[in-house]
Amino acid sequence: MLIIDHNPKGQLYSKLVDLAFEICDEFHLVLRKDMGSLKSFDPLLKKLESSLKEMKEQSEWASTILGGNQTAKVYYYYTDENAKNILKESANSLYDWEQPHLPEDLSFFKDGKEWLITCSHEEESYIDTEDDKEIQKILSIPGLKVHMEKWD
């Protein structure tokens, strides 16, 4: 597992998104109903509509478990060129994906398994891979600061 040590911004964000789209087949964005009106997200959701796989009402997702009976709208998208361009146009950093400005917790999945997990409001993210080729690609992004951590 690679822990991302700082918020990837600008070109780092763009290169990380490019790599995630190369490796992964799906990503999600979350709209928490307890954080105000969701209407302001309609234009972004409309742009992403052609890439939408499904939306689920969930109480947990890649980086969060809500307490009580709360749920959020979790939008799952295919990693296609349209979606990649929109993610890169809509934000300048990984932790920009936070309400009220943007949907929460941009995270990526490879074959149904979490790959890049983000908790924007905590400014935490990590990449869950043991694939040496993927690790080398991540480490080759100039300026991206990560460290390895083993989970027991």
pLDDT digits (tens, 9 = 90+) for 53-65: 999 998 878 887 7
Q: CB–CB of 121/64 below 8 Å? A: no
What is the pTM (predicted TM-score) of this model?
Answer: 0.93
CA distance 88 to 142: 18
| Residues of the chain with confidence (pLDDT) below 50 | none
Task: For 118-136, give the DSSP string.
Answer: EEGGGTEEEE----HHHHH
Residue (of 100, 43, 98, 107) closest to 75 by Cα position? 107
pLDDT digits (tens, 9 = 90+) for 87-112: 999 999 999 999 999 999 999 999 99
Instruction: State yes or no: cis peptide before 100, omega within 30 of 0.
Output: yes
Place of tokens 């990693």: 79
